[in-house]
Amino acid sequence: MTGKRNGICEIITIGDELLIGQVINTNASWMGEQLSLSGLQLKRVTSIGDNNQQILDALHDAVTRAEFVFITGGLGPTADDITKPALCEFFGTQLVYNEEAFQQVKALFQRRGMEVSDRNKAQAMLPENCHPVQNENGTAPGMWFEKDSAVIVSMPGVPFEMKAMFENQVIPKVMAMVNKGHILHKTIMTNGIGESSLADIIKDWEQALPINFKLAYLPQPGMVRLRLSGSGIDRNELEQTMNTLVTKLIPLISDYVFGYDNDTLEEIVGDLLKKSNKTIGTAESCTGGYLAHLITSISGSSAYFRGSVIAYANEIKTSALRVNESDIAKYGAVSKEVVEAMAIGLQKKFNVNYALATSGVAGPDGGTPEKPVGTIWIALATDKGVQSEKFQFGEHRGRNIRRSALSALNMLRIELLKVM
């Protein structure tokens, strides 16, 4: 064992199914998150097929760059699994019977009340230079190798087998070998402003960031996430700097920030409604039920969500929501007057504290010169009256629907914060 390491890691994921798009590589992103949370630095993920030469090439390259190389996949009992022979070739060694690994497989089978088959016995044949890593949830043991200054760990590709092994055994062993600083991340979730406008507003703050802090803009339809990452030796100092930076940032963009890290608008709004003991309903035209869907995607939403009227046809706006026919004729269905009447109508009908209403041209058809595709009106009825706002989104129907629903939730969030 050489001296302390810095925690530079790479991942190699093996499997044809990852390359042809049949399986999404969630293992790599999960492992990346664990490494990052442990302050280790993942530098590269390489995804290759079930091919001996590709495995050898990828391994050879990875050990020249990284101190720790984590391999997943290709360890099952079936014929297409070829990682073990490739590892033998890479280390110039051979498969030998490993009693420790066999006892682990046997114990697993006994817990499940099953007999060990010859196929399973073959799984205890491991490269001579490895230490077996226990698989709590399956029959393929992991393998821990050390060669020169590099550590190579091979794990199964089945997510729940890999995850238990990585979390409970691999990471602790790695952490004991690493001489490392800390990495902290804070993600600020914003709605209602684009990436470039946000960048303009916070330009001075961003340029004054300490050298060990980095900012990333992560846009999605209807929101931009700002991820601030800092690295350093002293964790307390790092946390203090992070807090100071975030405290300076938030006032610049407070109108747009709705949460942090993995928060969603529908969760945040749900929490606020629960805390204030208020109820909500929606009257939807252009969002067509998507706003209600977001609200009810949260478990426990029945505590505050009572129901909705989706009024796609104008006759339903008049019959179910009591919108005046003459207003629709005069102003059009996509108008301040109609969307406010929808919100008020729903609020009364369903006896809710808050009612959100949407009416717009989601597209791709139905636009006019005065109201092009992407024109959306959103209204919020409260116990003090009704407010509304006009938005101009883009050309893509699905994104217009999502942006409309998120903007509606944000309007409600801002109102809920005022009264709390």
35-54 binders of a second copy (CB under 8 A): 35-36, 42-50, 54
Amino acid, single-letter form, for residue 306: R
| Residues facing residue 219 across a β-bridge | 224
For 15, left (φ over 0), alpha (ψ -120 to 50), or beta? Answer: left
| Residues facing residue 186 across a β-bridge | 228
407 in helix, strand or coil?
A: helix
CB 188 within 8 A of CB 207: no
Q: Which is nearer to a second copy, 131 or 293 (CB)?
A: 293
- Between CA 342 and CA 334 the distance in angstroms is 11
CB of 415 to a second copy, least distance (A): 21
Q: With binding defined as CB under 8 A, does residue 6 bind a second copy? A: no
Q: With binding defined as CB under 8 A, does residue 77 bind a second copy? A: yes
Cis peptide before 172, with omega less than 30 degrees from 0? no
Q: With binding defined as CB under 8 A, does residue 307 bind a second copy? A: yes
Residues 6+ away with beta carbon under 8 Å from 21: none
Instruction: Among 232, 270, 360, 374, indicate the residue that binds a second copy (CB under 8 A).
Output: 374
Q: Which is nearer to a second copy, 372 or 417 (CB)?
A: 372
Q: With binding defined as CB under 8 A, does residue 76 bind a second copy? A: yes
Q: Which two tokens stand for residue 340?
A: 């406010």
Q: Which two tokens stand for residue 296?
A: 């009810």
Q: Which is nearer to a second copy, 60 or 417 (CB)?
A: 60
Reference 27, options 95, 82, 73, 62; nearest CA is 73
Amino acid, single-letter form, for residue 14: I
* Contacts with a second copy, 160-199, as mask; x by CB under 8 A: x------------------------x-x-------xx--x
Q: Which is nearer to a second copy, 115 or 148 (CB)?
A: 115
231-270 binders of a second copy (CB under 8 A): none
Q: Which is nearer to a second copy, 25 or 93 (CB)?
A: 25
Q: Which is nearer to a second copy, 3 or 46 (CB)?
A: 46
CB of 78 to a second copy, least distance (A): 5
